Amino acid sequence: MEIWQMSAMDMARGVRTGAFSAAEATRSVLARVEEVNGKANALVEVRADEALDAARAADDRQRRGAPLGPLHGVPVTFKVNTNVAGLPTTEGVAAYAGHIATENDPQVSSWLDAGAIFVGRTNSPPFATRWTTENDLYGATVNPWNPAVTPGGSSGGAAAAVALGMCALAQGSDIGGSIRYPAACCGVAGLRPTPGRVPAWSGSPSFDPPMAVQAFVEQGPIARTVADLRLGLRAMETYDARDPRAVAAGSRIPGSPERPRVAVVTDPGGPGLRGSSTPESVEAARTAAGWLADAGYTVEEVELPLLGEAARLWWLLALTEFEIGMVAEVARVGDPGFRRFFDLMYAAYREEFGQVDLPGFVAGWSRRGMLRREMSVFADRHHLVLTPVSGEPPFTMGADAESAERTAELMGRQWPLMSVPVLGLPALGLPVALGTAGAPVGVQVIGRPFEEEAVFTASEVIEARAGLAIPVEPAGSR
């Protein structure tokens, strides 16, 4: 096995035991980047010289017997909407190419402090707001399994890079599905942690980020294995004073039993947005449910209308607030493809809500609190919830900006993803099987706050039965 093919855990173990050096691991990964990135466009900045310098410094620390972090010698990537000191935080927008970060974001500092080797930046749609990953600044990222369908967004570059072996771990961000969705689309695993578990700063010190951004955005790892997600999360969950929400790892909730009860929801029912779940997505969820039942879990398929209502509430709260400042900025600097998607998304929003007034917006935040309470009571019996990761398999590139009807349908089918931030829960997206389009179709495992370990354990059952071969060769090379 080449070093770049190894899991993050095996890579870290190999460096620590002297089987190979951090410099050798980094050279192997950079050679893989050179081989496949031109076909995938997942990394839009490759920091080869800096990575090799950091790897040699890591090897020197090890020779001196200095303390080593859990990611010592492991090559990682960061997303282009994440601040890395001295580099532009472009967010996939050409006009932001001169926005140079003056400091590292907490999620960058934590991985670097844990010994990770930074090899490059991953692609994102403009403003990290689209269900695919393309922009006029860097171009489109290709799904490694089928270039005709989306790699997911907004962390599509991160997920594709992991799937292809261009890094062992990738950092992603998730406000409405941007870690979980691309991970499943590309055949890997991605975790959105419990709010407060991973410190982050979502915005600029020079302006106040919107309430929905402060409440809904989380930072998390993307990896080829669930075990690697554990490693990535462990290194991320540090203290950082810039995030007052961040708490020490752990929970006051009584721990879940070894095989907690699982509620399977394939269509939430109730007052949700247009578009529920396609038969292929439903089949993926029921297949995964069967695997959990085989492993000893008590599995029950239920309707859970509050998931649909929570997804609808995401639209009301996030899009109402984003409109205040984002519409003008998108018109000013957005590229034509993104502007079209953005306009169609807001057309669907208008059809659903009309003009939201202040009392309606405030009532939405109040309703969020009640939904979280209802979910907490439900989760006291069903500690895990299993859903499709999306209501449909990866769609054809460009379909999200095809028409107002299609955009509304696709957005509605993301109910599993958008419900989670509103409810403040941890969730993990991962693949189940290759779908009819030749790209992975996935599921989402949702847990109780700070119960990531129960989510990991159930996800490992699904991962073992799915058995997708990762890393992959780019489509057309196999």
The set of catalytic residues is: 79, 154, 178
Taking the C-alpha atoms of residue 166 and residue 300, their distance in angstroms, rounded to an integer, is 39
What token pair was written down for 329? 């900025």
- Would you say 187 and 224 are in contact if contact means Cβ atoms under 8 Å apart? no
**Any idea what DSSP says for residue 295?**
T
Measuring CA to CA, which residue among 35, 40, 122 is closest to residue 78?
122
Taking the C-alpha atoms of residue 377 and residue 400, their distance in angstroms, rounded to an integer, is 36
Measuring CA to CA, which residue among 121, 224, 225, 211 is closest to residue 173?
121
Measuring CA to CA, which residue among 61, 239, 217, 83 is closest to residue 154?
217
Taking the C-alpha atoms of residue 283 and residue 442, their distance in angstroms, rounded to an integer, is 10
Taking the C-alpha atoms of residue 95 and residue 332, their distance in angstroms, rounded to an integer, is 9
Counted residue by residue, the chain has a size of 478
Query: What is the rounded end-to-end Cα distance, in angstroms, of the chain?
Result: 18
- Cα 258–chain centre separation: 26
Q: List strand residue ranges (DSSP E) for 39-192, in order.
A: 43-46, 75-79, 117-122, 134-135, 139-140, 169-174, 189-192
What token pair was written down for 371? 């939904």
Angle between helices 305-314 and 415-423 (to 10 degrees): 80
Segment (H or E) for 223: strand 218-223
Q: Which residues contact 151 (CB under 8 A, 6 or more apart)?
A: 42, 132, 133, 141, 142, 143, 144, 157, 159, 160, 182, 185, 186, 394
Taking the C-alpha atoms of residue 368 and residue 321, their distance in angstroms, rounded to an integer, is 15
As to burial, measured by CB atoms within 10 angstroms (0-12 exposed, 13-18 middle, 19+ buried), residue 66 is exposed
Taking the C-alpha atoms of residue 18 and residue 357, their distance in angstroms, rounded to an integer, is 62
**What are the residues facing 122 on neighbouring strands?**
43, 79
What token pair was written down for 279? 């038969």
Peptide bond into 419 cis (omega under 30): no
